[in-house]
Amino acid sequence: MYHISILTGHQDEDDFGERLGDIADVAYCPVSDDEEQLVDELKDADIIICKHEKITASLLEKLDELKLIVILRSRFDNVDVQAAAQRGVKVLRNADYCTDDIADHTCAMILALIRQIPEYQDDIRRHSRWQFGSVKWELHRVSSHLIGLVGFGRSGRAVAARMQAFGCTVQAYDPFVEEEVMLERNVKPVDFDKLMRTSDIISLHVPLNETTRYLFRDEQFDEMKEGSMFVNCSRGGLVDEAALYHAVDDGHVRSAALDVLSMEHPGPMMLKMMTRQEFLLTPSIASHSVEAEKQLHDDAERYIRAFVAGETENLPFIPASGV
């Protein structure tokens, strides 16, 4: 019988013990920064289920029985995928479970900015008045806006479909996606500079890595169309928030909606944004819903059962390259 070790929390937080008890011994392991203690907990594991917990190369070297790592999120930067591949350990994640949630939240942010909901809500609360026109920007129809997507993967495509349903024109930049893929979805492929200059709203849908870290700085915000809006429900490290704040503060960028920040605790920049009606902030909730959490666990169970049965052809393994 397989041995599954779970690093994601306590037994009362999920039901993997009940789900998989017929095919494996399931143990819930305390997360520790002490690698030797972690090795002792995981030494017999054939399968590890983790979420944010680090699985390093040095840890992998000491886990001789390990065959599979299941990551309960779409990101996988907590696992040394290359080191796992070198040891013949498969790594998989579910990249689709929260696509709808992220797209829904992104579009909610976009619609809120277009309809100036944060500004009018702030005006009502601060000034106890019920007055159209108290916000300086003109109010335009949703369908009149050109949406620019930086990245056209799962969430970008889902956002495009939703905003097209509102009558918006959508354009996208993604050097890793064929233009035909965009055109098939009635999305116009453009280069990065044109997207910056012409989009009424720019939304980010790219992973965070060394090439995309601080992709948006002063130069990019200066290049954006005057009075445009900015949305990031992707990764906080993609944006220099100080540069964004200055772009909003001087009026070049009209407003911004952020679900993620480079530093997600009440630091100086977050506190400054919180005082401004031009910023709509939510605390990393875009990927969360009861349905997404259920799908994540359902899929993890399905993946593990297929792996144990040797039915691995269609499992979402992460390649050693991490791409």
pLDDT at position 189 is: 98
User: 18-22, 24-28, 86-90: which has the highest mean pLDDT?
Assistant: 86-90
pLDDT at position 13 is: 60
pLDDT at position 52 is: 87
Distances in Å between the alpha carbon of 301 and those of 18, 150, 223, 236, 240?
11, 33, 47, 30, 39
Mean confidence (pLDDT) of the chain: 93
2-93+291-308 matches 99-281 in fold: yes
Q: What CA–CA distance (Å, rounded) separates 14 from 196?
A: 44
High-pLDDT (> 70) share of the chain, %: 97
Q: How confident is the model at residue 16 (pLDDT cuts 50, 70, 90)?
A: confident
pLDDT at position 91 is: 97
pLDDT at position 268 is: 86
Domain residue spans of the chain: 2-93+291-308, 99-281
Beta-carbon contacts of residue 179 (< 8 Å; ≥ 6 apart): 189
Segment 50-66 shows an average pLDDT of: 94
High-pLDDT (> 90) share of the chain, %: 82
pLDDT > 90? residue 11:
no
The owner of tokens 């929260």 is 98
pLDDT per position as a tens digit, 120-160: 999 999 999 999 999 989 999 999 999 999 999 999 999 99
Q: How confident is the model at residue 9 (pLDDT cuts 50, 70, 90)?
A: low
CATH code, residues 2-93+291-308: 3.40.50.720
pLDDT at position 313 is: 93
Beta-carbon contacts of residue 37 (< 8 Å; ≥ 6 apart): none
Q: How confident is the model at residue 17 (pLDDT cuts 50, 70, 90)?
A: confident
pLDDT at position 177 is: 97
pLDDT at position 323 is: 57
Structure tokens given for 162: 């939703």
Distances in Å between the alpha carbon of 157 and those of 106, 152, 255, 274, 315?
12, 6, 23, 30, 22
Alpha-helical segments (H) within the chain? 16-20, 35-42, 57-60, 81-86, 99-114, 117-127, 154-165, 179-184, 192-198, 218-223, 241-249, 268-274, 290-308
Report helix, strand or coil for 228.
Answer: strand
Segment 178-182 shows an average pLDDT of: 98
pLDDT > 80? residue 14:
no
Q: What CA–CA distance (Å, rounded) separates 114 from 227?
A: 11
The CATH architecture annotation of domain 99-281 reads 3-Layer(aba) Sandwich (3.40)
Segment 26-38 shows an average pLDDT of: 85
Segment 253-268 shows an average pLDDT of: 91
